[in-house]
Structure 1
């Protein structure tokens, strides 16, 4: 079974210390959930572990400094039997952020998603690079997250060629884009660039590969032996 996006929800919190993000529509027990969270101000410690349902686990962290800079955290978990309608997140009470939660069906939940990250804090550029990653299999689902500080300018994003843009977000002075691709090879996927409509600073790029459930071998036919009753007439 191939790992596939079931649904995505997003949030763009501004100047709040805590907020909720809706559970992706149709999330089912056993789905793999990924959460991407970028914030422009404060400290990494203020971006606490999300709350609600099964425990969220850290998948990746990037910090462009303290104070008015960029921070990103990635989280993952396997959906339990009693997931809530919303998940709780925290960040600096004067900061702005972007969050996307992705529910993935058909994922091999025995395998921790592969994650790679890159970034640049120099100047403002329209190109945000997401790094190459080596998937676990030829049918992985790949997710790419690009984020940065747009200096309070409105931003729209163009995803890398062959990737499907899933979210285009801006929370005041934080902007981010999420794109996905169904892979057909286990080869390294290469650096892929997102393009912002205006220059952004403190650029963060993350690449995540989610393994698909292995195909189940066909079951052999079940042969039921039946007794044959014969009668003879003399």
Structure 2
């Protein structure tokens, strides 16, 4: 069975330094968890390693502009046998931030997800997410984008053929969106744009490919011609 999204959970931080985000519904041992966290004030150092269960590993980071502009960290791990009900995240206590956690079932847990990123500090309603070369022809692709609105309400439109998994906004100046797609080819994918309702600054785009575990092959027994003849003469 190809890798696919089991469930997504999310969290919003409005001028607070920490939050507990619920484990995605139904997540079990062996699922790959991908956590996307963007905030708009402070430094990357304020965004500590998430806590709870098996150890989270850093997958990608990006910082824009000054300490008052968009920061993003992407984390991943393989869920262990004693995962908690919630995961702890930290950031600058004066910042707003958005978090999405995707639980992926049917993933190849031996392979680190492939990731690519891009960013642009100018204001626009278009937020690009980069192309990527997946590990196989049936990877699950996740795309996360974030940016800073000017204290206005934002909604997102994801690229055509992608499924929207999360559309988030915290306070007036932190927003993000997560989308997914089951790939059918190992060829490189292209850059695709998310569209926000209003202009955003300090835009980030991340594309993540999670490899599928694949289907085990059943080997047929090898029987020699001589053995077949002996059986026929028995």
State the TM-score bracket (shorter-chain normalisation): over 0.9
Could you give the per-residue CA deviations for residues 125-178 of structure 1, whole angstroms, max 9, x where no partner exists? 000000010001110000000100001110000000111111100011101010
The gaps in structure 2 that reach 5 residues or longer are: 224-234
| Alignment pair present for 1:131 and 2:130 | yes
The aligned counterpart of 2:152 is 153
How many Å apart are 1:215 and its aligned residue?
1.8
CA distance in 2 between partners of 1:71 and 1:219 (Å): 50
Matches within 5 A, 1:76-155: 76-122=76-122, 124-155=123-154
Structure 2: how far apart are the matches of 1:79 and 1:178?
20
2: distance between equivalents of 1:162 and 1:4? Answer: 15
**In 1, distance between residues paired with 2:138 and 2:106?**
11
* 1:185 maps onto 2:185 in alignment: yes
Q: Name the Cα RMSD after superposition.
A: 1.3
Distance (whole Å) between structure 2 residues aligned to residue 221 and residue 40 of structure 1: 61
Shift of 1:117: 0.1
Deviations 1:49-102 (A, max 9, x none): 000000000000000033210000000000000000000000010100010001
Task: Give the number of the structure whose alpha-carbon radius of gyration is greater.
Answer: 1
**Helix, strand or coil at the partner of 2:42:** coil
Aligned residue for 2:231? none
- What CA distance in whole angstroms lies between the structure 2 residues aligned with 1:95 and 1:220? 60
TM-score between both structures, scaled by the size of structure 2: 0.93
4+ residue runs of structure 1 moved beyond 4 angstroms? none
Counting only pairs closer than 5 Å after superposition, residues 155-234 of structure 1 correspond to structure 2 as 155-172=154-171, 173-220=173-220
Distance 1:73 1:48 in 2: 9
Alpha-carbon distance in structure 1 between the residues aligned to 2:36 and 2:186 = 24
SS in 2 for 1:13: strand
Q: Can you list the C-alpha shifts for 1:186-233, whole angstroms capped at 9, x where unaligned?
A: 11110010000000000000000000012211243799xxxxxxxxxx
Give the corresponding residue for 2:227: none
Any conservation in 1 of the 2:65–2:121 contact (CA below 8 Å)? no
- Equivalent residue runs for 1:54-69 within 5 Å: 54-69=54-69
Secondary structure class of the residue paired with 1:117:
strand
- Aligned pair count reads 222
Q: 1: distance between equivalents of 2:88 and 2:58?
A: 15
| SS class of match (1:12) | strand
Q: CA-to-partner distance for each residue in 1:104-137, whole Å, 9 max, x for gaps?
A: 0000010000000000012x10000000100011
* Contact 2:65–2:202 (CA under 8 A) maintained in structure 1: no
Residue 39 of structure 1 pairs with residue 39 of structure 2: yes
| Offset at residue 23 of structure 1 (A) | 0.4
